[in-house]
């Protein structure tokens, strides 16, 4: 079975299970308030971290460097904010992991190690053969 299909099926089941378990422990109103509070705090912190990433990207650009990490970090912050907006405790946990800088670096380092070895080294030369042609043999149009 496709792993993405399995995640799409199992993730909502996990969220429903957590809603029932946590709701039975702290109550329905408290569960709803907890979900709303984590969404508001997460969106505020995502905005803060997004602005820091944007500032860091402009610093990289002013040094004439490519802000590759900042672009990837900004995308992960956007995904983290999306996960925080979606109601649920597992999505909130994953969203906070993507927003906090320490855990974001750990998650992104796992992906960069996986794809870093597959890139080829770029050479700054072109290999080829040439032949000197005398001017007498050139055809002039």
Rounded to whole angstroms, the Cα distance separating 78 from 50 reads: 8
pLDDT, the chain, mean: 83
Alpha helices in the chain (DSSP H): 3-26, 28-62, 68-85, 89-99, 101-116
Contacts of 58 (CB under 8 A, 6+ apart): none
pLDDT, residue 5, reads 84
pTM metric for this prediction: 0.69
What is the distance between the terminal CA atoms of the chain, rounded to a whole angstrom? 66
pLDDT band at 23 (very low <50, low <70, confident <90, very high): very high
For 101-135, how does the pLDDT look when each residue is reduced to its tens digit (9 = 90+)? 899 889 888 877 766 655 555 666 677 777 777 66
Residue 135 DSSP label: G
33 with 105: CB under 8 angstroms? no
pLDDT, residue 120, reads 53
């Amino acid at each position: 079975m496709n792993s993405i299909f399995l995640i799409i099926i199992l993730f909502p089941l996990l969220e429903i299970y957590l809603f029932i378990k946590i709701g039975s422990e702290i109550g329905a109103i408290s569960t709803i308030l907890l979900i709303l509070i984590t969404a508001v705090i997460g969106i505020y912190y995502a905005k803060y971290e997004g602005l820091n990433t944007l500032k860091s990207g402009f610093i990289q650009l002013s040094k004439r460097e490519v802000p590759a990490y900042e672009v990837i970090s900004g995308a992960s912050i956007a995904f983290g904010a999306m996960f925080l907006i979606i109601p649920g405790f597992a999505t909130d946990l994953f969203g906070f992991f993507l927003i906090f800088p320490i855990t974001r670096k750990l998650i992104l380092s796992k992906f960069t190690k996986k794809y870093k070895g597959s890139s080829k080294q770029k050479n700054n030369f072109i290999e080829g053969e040439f032949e000197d042609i005398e001017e007498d043999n050139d055809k002039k149009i």
